[in-house]
Chain A
Amino acid sequence: MIRTQRLAAGVCALLATLAAGLAFPAAAEAGEPTSGANAKVDLVLDVSGSMRTRDIDGGTRMAAAKQAFNEVLDATPEDVQLGIRTLGANYAGNDRQTGCKDTAQLYPVSTLDRTEAKTAVATLSPTGWTPIGPALLKAASDLADGDGSKRIVLITDGEDTCAPLDPCEVAREIAAKGIGMTIDTLGLVPNTKLNKQLSCIAEATGGTYTSVEHTDELTDKVNQLVDRAADPVVTPVATEGATQCTSAPTLKSGLFTDREEFGQQRWYKVDVDPGKELRASVSVAADRAVSPSYGVLLRAVTVHGREIVRGESAGNGRTDVISTGLRYPKAESDADDAPAETVCLQVTNSFSPASRVKTTPGMPLELTVDVVDGPSKASDVASFGLGRGWWLLGVLVLVGFVAGLLWGWLSRWRVAVWRTN
């Protein structure tokens, strides 16, 4: 099979060289997706009073942010839909209730009109509170529709001032609701507390946290994040595993996502035809503080409960994800209409939550399933049973020599016998 693929690739390459450029689009189709067209980014900018502080390259934080935004808006790829949301931009008063609702959409998530967006950014001036949680919730609803990759980029210089709504938990809930939603955070001249909060938000959604002390760092990072959103990625399909095999959803080849709580088990089913190979890999992400030792177990089990094969993995220390996988080649069958075997996949994790960490929603679980042609079985350890090495040569020479001697003696003896007769 590999050989045929290689041959096909060779033919493709040949065609391409012959009819320059004509043959390549065909080859590119499979490997070059264009789901970047649906990529959406929402930049969430803190416009709270503290942004007036002059400590970034001699200017205010606000000035740095504005300059960075102008450059980012110039460099945004055409196919990215970009929006800008502010927090703390409008209410300068002391009422916490009102201050904590102060988030507004400055520029809607849409195909970018650079001039319009820049004009909107220019009007901003540092004003109010820092309601990070509510702003993230609104930003998530800005991005709600569409099936491409979605990214929220949060730029702030101070931690959330609107407790008890923990922005970290908000981020986790956002990630649990929307598929492929990532929050990246940038801290302007951060302190330890802000570092902690922002990296917690980022880790809750598989995003990144960067601390920024210079304008060019800010520009580069936001540009990098916007470009990353434009990179096409496979969007997983949401599924919900059952607590036992009989009621489990049947999966085909593809990428799936689910949630698994601490100590929970998830079951899925895959139909494997005779002569096919099932490949499954699973990863469970630690999107919150967990105890330093953890593991994941993936088992392939028959419908009758017999374990076929398992993949297991354990680790300790800081991690984003723990993953494992398994292969199960189903033997060929002589019967033409042999039925497909239903293989149950069981996923369990041994994460345990750190103290005072909410256990719901479950941790993100990613499952890839591939049902491919079965492998050719090995009948020997060595390739085609061939030999190799000086011992092999020695043995062959010795045996050949002895055989030659024997044959020679034998024929001499036969000649002698014939003569005497």
Chain B
Amino acid sequence: MRITRMLGAAALLFGLTVTPAVADSSPSPSASGDDSAPTSAGTSFRTAAEVDQGQEATASASTGDYLYWSFPADAGQRPTVRATVKLPASHAAQTWQVDVYDGLRRRQSCQYGAQTRTAEQGSTTVELACVLRTVRAWSEPWADDPLPGTYYIRLTALNLTTADLGQPVKASVRVGSKDIGGAAAVDGSLAQPLVPGIAVSSKSGSEDGDTSKAAVLSSIEPDGGWTSGWWSDRWVWTGIGAVLAALAGIGGYALTRGSGRPTRVPPAA
């Protein structure tokens, strides 16, 4: 009886505390309506077109071009890159591939998704996808785990017949991400996200004056800024655990005490 009441209270408490955590873990990056998605792609890491998560970037290009975009990904997110290529009316079989690189230009593996696909002769579109690993707040320097920062997308045709070179194609790219939440919350954090050129840009940003000429390699940032990395739903789990342990302790103690009056003392005493 007492135990059921206790469990009920614990469940209520749990429900109350978990709700904000669940609300918190909804993905934050979304396209802010006012700034428009890029309509052209870059041709190198240096000139990659910057696209926010949730935006659809488009580009008209030629077969054989190497198309580059960049997007920000923050700790706890698992980004998914989707690319669609509209091919010209007539072409030979060609293979397209989407590659994702991190802010250090290290190639990042795709967990799943059709990263490479061959368009048979006469097909009109190719759809590619790449689901990255979860971005961690910290990793050892010897690992190539995804870290918060800029990510580059490279879309290109892998093999082409000479006759297909230079044919007009339309490409579009969209990046979404799933919020993994506390399960991916690791200890440690980077002082600054893995954004190329950040040492130069943060320096020139701090000294006011003639810095107008400073082009930056990457000025990308998630919608709400980079997270500081201290919050995770682990706090909630651990907190609830502590409360439950305390309640269970009280319960266990209470069990040894009986109904509240010592058994050996007669009721009339």
Taking Cβ atoms with an 8 Å cutoff, the residues of A that contact B are 1-3, 5-6, 9-10, 26, 29-35, 182, 187, 190, 192, 195-196, 198-199, 206-211, 217, 220, 224, 227-228, 231-236, 253-255, 277, 279-283, 309, 311, 313, 315, 317-321, 323-329, 366, 368-389, 392-393, 396-409, 411-412
Contacts and interface: CB of A to CB of B under 8 A. Distances in A.
B211 A392 contact: no
A31 B219 contact: yes
Given A33-B212, A405-B256, 13 more contacts: A1-B191, A5-B226, A30-B214, A195-B165, A254-B197, A366-B46, A372-B199, A379-B188, A387-B234, A388-B183, A388-B238, A404-B251, A412-B257
Given A30-B204, A388-B238, A311 B104 contact: yes
Contacts of B200: 253-254, 370
A26 to B, nearest CB: 7
Contacts of B197: 234, 253-255, 368, 370
Contact of A210 (B66, B166, B185): B166
5 contacts: A6-B225, A366-B45, A372-B191, A396-B245, A411-B256
B187 A34 contact: no
B106 A325 contact: yes
A388 B203 CA distance: 39
Given A208-B61, A313-B107, A318-B159, A30 B187 contact: no
B17 interface: no
A408 B255 contact: yes
Interface in B222-251: 225-230, 232-235, 237-238, 240-242, 244-251
Given A31-B201, A382-B186, A373 B191 contact: yes
A383 B208 contact: no
Contact of B245 (A228, A378, A400): A400
Interface of B: 40, 43-47, 60-62, 64-66, 101-107, 137-138, 141-142, 144, 156-160, 162-163, 165-168, 182-183, 185-194, 196-205, 208, 211-217, 219, 221, 225-230, 232-235, 237-238, 240-242, 244-257
B257 A408 contact: yes
Contacts of A387: 234, 237-238, 241
Contacts of A233: 46-47, 215
A20 B251 CA distance: 60
B40 to A, nearest CB: 6
B165 to A, nearest CB: 4
B216 A33 contact: yes
Contacts of A231: 47
A404 B44 contact: no
Contacts of B212: 29, 33-34
Contact of A393 (B65, B141, B225, B240): B240
B188 A376 contact: yes
Given A3-B228, A35-B215, A376-B191, A323 B252 contact: no
B158 A317 contact: yes
A211 B167 contact: yes
Contacts of B198: 370, 372
A199 B217 contact: no
Contacts of A407: 249, 252-253
B141 A329 contact: yes
A312 to B, nearest CB: 9
A217 B232 contact: no
Given A2-B228, A400-B245, A404-B250, A323 B158 contact: no
Contacts of B240: 393
Contacts of A366: 45-46
A387 to B, nearest CB: 5
A313 B252 contact: no
B185 A383 contact: yes
Contact of B251 (A10, A370, A401, A409): A401
A414 B192 CA distance: 58
A2 B226 contact: yes
Contacts of B225: 5-6, 9-10
